[in-house]
Chains A and B, each alone.
Chain A
């Protein structure tokens, strides 16, 4: 009888699977990802290496010596150490983070706009005390610009009524506000000394969310040529909530990671973070094979560093408040070994 190996489901639950079952999950996931994203599946060698990583009973795994990559972060730290600066110092001095991020618990550019001077002062003070680069991060969150939270009509109410034109007009209005807020906050933080800015979970409200962010990126890049600009995606596919939005003639709805990267690097992004959402009912082996397959084409066209997202619930890391380290470390190793990505 084939030995059963402890492994994880996408929600973090521990199960036991045989090597043959893991191999089958990897193969099926890669083929499904290839069919959906219209990209090649992982090669036989890549699938075999992935199987070796996931068929190990080790409690932890890691990349080979010398293969380490740059770690950026969205958020980061713990918010439990008293102040933002203490939190950043701990991340630098104790966790050994490569890129640090100052952030606020109201993690939206719309909300940060109202407390920008407070955040600027923290950034200025932090820059005096830290050596590692510090970026400022928040999310575009386009939906916050619709009623009742914002000024635009609520397109998620208009769409079910069949008012397509009204919904699109509302998204257009919201995008104007969102881009203005992102330009205002990121410019303010760079003026306060930030090494870069992070547009986190971009596209979470669909193609309008993505386009409003790309417009902000272009503005920041033109004004601050040497600033770091990280753009992390919300999911593997840009949802066409508007459906007709384009970036320089390219329709944004339906873009997969490779095409997302192409528009991002054209807009002026410095670090691109693809995200592939976890399927909780599938094994982590299935999820990482799916993620690798849809992200791999990025690496062939990338002119900028690619840092796949490995937070909770993306790219093979279980969706769990405390992602088990056996699963998170396997995802990190698989992404580095197979993609040869530039960071995480």
Chain B
């Protein structure tokens, strides 16, 4: 069922900008249009690009926001996971809880 909804109506998570739009809904309570407009503005792309895996794969790579990894599409030396979340927090102008915790616990 998760797959059904993801294909029928989901933004696509890290394949696109779904996780970024989701962060604006979660941290700021933004409605969908506002959240999409906000993220598109920060990325410098169109709203339609946000759920286009072709466009977002390149944009995420350029900005170091983390990309889907598989055996034919690996990006060693590029930010992912916690490293990417540092960049996402800065790009979106939000605080990400786990980034703050990492910074504190690592003594950065």
A residues contacting B by CB (< 8 A) are: 60-63, 65-73, 76-77, 91-93, 95-99, 124, 127-133, 135, 190, 192-196, 226-228, 270-271, 302-305, 310-312, 317, 322-323, 325, 328-329, 332-333, 335-336, 340-344
Contact = CB atoms under 8 A, between A and B. Distances in A.
User: Main SS of chain A's interface residues?
Assistant: loop
A70 B32 contact: yes
Main secondary structure of the interface of B (DSSP, over half): helix
Given A133-B26, A271-B25, A95 B51 contact: no
A328 B16 CA distance: 22
9 contacts: A61-B8, A95-B13, A132-B18, A193-B101, A195-B27, A228-B26, A304-B31, A340-B32, A342-B35
Given A193-B97, A194-B97, A310 B11 contact: no
Interface string B1-44: 11111111111111110110111011101111001000000000
Contacts of B88: 131
Query: Range of interface residues on chain B?
Result: 35 or more
Contacts of A192: 101
Contacts, number: 194
Contacts of A305: 25, 29-32, 35
B94 interface: yes
Contacts of B19: 98-99, 131-133
A244 B81 CA distance: 48
Contact of B18 (A96, A127, A271, A335): A96
Nearest to B101: A193
A95 B9 CA distance: 13
B32 A131 contact: no
